[in-house]
Structure 1
Amino acid sequence: MASFPAVLRSEWTKIRSVRSTVWTLALTFVVTVGVGALLALLTNNNFAEFRGNRQTPFDATSTVFSGIELGELAIIVFGVLAIGNEYSSGMIRLTLAAVPQRATLLAGKTAVLGALALAVSVVTAFVTFFVGQSLLGPHSTTIGEPNVLRAVFGAALYLTMLCLFAAGVTTMLHNQTLALGVLVPFFFLLSPILSAVPKVKTLARYFPDYAGSRMMLVYQQQGQPYGPLAGFLICLAWTAAALVGGVLVLKRRDA
């Protein structure tokens, strides 16, 4: 019986030895910061046109996090590859032989993935915020303003939960190509399309991407069904469901 610390060490070695997982984490940082900086610069240079006649307060924090939608893709790919590489290479059989306690194995994978994703996401969120605010000029805000720090951490937690959600889905499907074939259309096609259809857009508001966007808001907007805390709980529920599903499938199916 492998001890949990041994499982953690093994999973950490696997992740850092695979270049694709390292590059996807780096890409999460670069894309989120880069797109956020570009949008902040464009907003500052075209602020009058951007705001129009809106009466609601300008949310400088969520503006710089608008680029997180592309960062989502990279962190999802990281979660998929971190789990799926073992299935595509056949190494999962050796892993299960060494750690037959499948719930313990997935718990170890989740702990390492979650810790690494959280560390990268926190750095990404804070760098995105400070770089973006520096480019917003007179329209910027500070980290000490009400709810701003909470929104920055909300962005980091959202990315972390997306990574774990992707890992849980990949564990259920046992195939990284299939997992990407489900997750990418779900986040970048199905969710946006349903959000634009009047009869079903209420359902789309409870998808993880919409809930995550609520976590990065500083001001509660009129007409929105819920706020940051509810958004966090919805994302957490999606993540927990994917991981529980991963445990159940891993216990019942062969590698």
Structure 2
Amino acid sequence: MNAIRAEWVKLRSLRSTWYTLGTLLVLGLGITTLTMSSMHRQYFEASPADRAAWDPTGQSLKTYIVAQLVVGVLGILIVTSEFATGLIQTTLAANPRRSRLLAAKSLVATVVAAAAGQLLMFAAFLLGQAVLAAQDVPSASLGDPGVFSAVIGGGLYLSAIALLALGLGAIMRATAGALATLVGIVFLVPALSGLFPSWLHGVLACWPTLGAAAIFNTIPDPAYPHPWLNLGGLWLGVLAVLAAAFFVFRKRDV
């Protein structure tokens, strides 16, 4: 508990933490407003089949595409900022048990990202549905089938991305390298997924912005019909990266 308390004090005392969280909310809700404001034309120009597959919940939660990068930066900086300044040596002198130290950082990062991500998901949903209703476009409410689970799943998705970013930061010890790797994972690999051999398609079912991102939709995606299993697969992959981070953090010198 002392290690967790220390990491929380360090995190909340940095202005960059609050700047990052503020950016998450402002940017996320700004993107939601911009994208949802054009839904009137998109819906009424759509074909009958597209209207039948209209998912107002999924439309309003698409802000996750940018939000995952912001929470990723937060997760990376929790680790790499201390390596960059050399303060990691002071931290290890105060808390020489490296596994306990990284576990405390991981727990704090997950809780903060989950709280901020959940707040963003609920706010983006409510804002997006209000914009749709103002345009006379079919909207949804939290009580509709699948809506609440999609919003909750969105917060879990973002917290998984933050934990993944923290693991990458611990492995690479450099902000630029960890962020470049995270961008490759969430954007480059999905963009090139069509080039992968068929035996790798099972991995894509739990990949960020692919199978795991199906959790944001209330209308099932035929390619990923089990969104909660896909999200669980993402968490397993994140835990594997975190296990590697624990291993290298304990074995190598600072």
**One-letter code aligned to 2:210:** Y
Deviating more after overlay: 152-161 vs 19-28: 19-28
Judged with a 3 Å threshold, the aligned counterparts in structure 2 of structure 1 residues 92 and 186 are, in CA distance, closer, same or farther, namely same
TM-score by length of 2: 0.91
Q: Residue 51 and residue 241 in structure 1: after superposition, are their counterparts in 2 closer, same or farther (change >3 A)? A: farther
Q: Is the 8 A contact 1:43 1:50 kept in 2?
A: no
The more displaced of 233-242 and 40-49 is 40-49
Aligned to 1:167: 166
Residue 43 (structure 1) aligns with: 39
* Structure 2 unmatched runs, 5+: none
After TM superposition, give the deviation of residue 166 of structure 1 in Å: 0.3
Q: Determine the C-alpha separation between the residues in 1 that align with 2:53 and 2:164.
A: 33
Match of 2:71 in 1: 75
**Alignment map for 1:62-211 (pairs within 5 Å):** 62-137=58-133, 138-192=137-191, 194-197=192-195, 199=197, 202=201, 203-211=203-211
SS in 1 for 2:37: helix
> Contact conserved, 2:205 with 2:230, CA < 8 A, in 1?
no
**Structure 1: any 5+ residue segments left out of the alignment?**
none
Amino acid at match of 1:147: G
Preserved CA contact (<8 Å) 2:185 2:208: no
Aligned residues: 249
Deviation at 1:206, TM superposition (A): 3.6
- Partners of 1:195 and 1:205 within 8 A in 2: no
Confirm or deny: 8 A CA contact 2:204 2:210 kept in the other structure: yes
**1:225 Cα deviation after fit:** 3.5
Listed as ranges, the matches of 1:11-30 within 5 Å are 11-30=7-26
Identify which range, 15-24 or 48-57, moves more after superposition.
Answer: 48-57
Residues 1:103 and 1:133: Cα distance change in structure 2 (over 3 Å): same
Contact conserved, 1:211 with 1:234, CA < 8 A, in 2? no
- Output the CA distance in 1 between the equivalents of 2:17 and 2:189: 26
Q: CA separation of 1:54/1:70 partners in 2, compared to 1, >3 Å: closer, same or farther? A: same
Is the alpha carbon distance of 1:184 and 1:111 closer, same or farther for their aligned partners in structure 2, counting shifts above 3 Å? same
Q: Is the 8 A contact 2:28 2:124 kept in 1?
A: yes
User: Which range moved further: 128-137 or 196-205?
Assistant: 196-205
TM-score (norm 1): 0.91
Whole-angstrom CA distance in 1 between matches of 2:232 and 2:125: 23
3-state SS, counterpart of residue 210 of structure 1:
coil
The alignment's C-alpha RMSD in Å is 1.8
* Residue-by-residue CA offset, 1:127-153 (whole Å, 9 max, x unaligned): 000000001124101100111000000
Deviation at 1:35, TM superposition (A): 1.1
Greater displacement, 182-191 / 62-71: 182-191
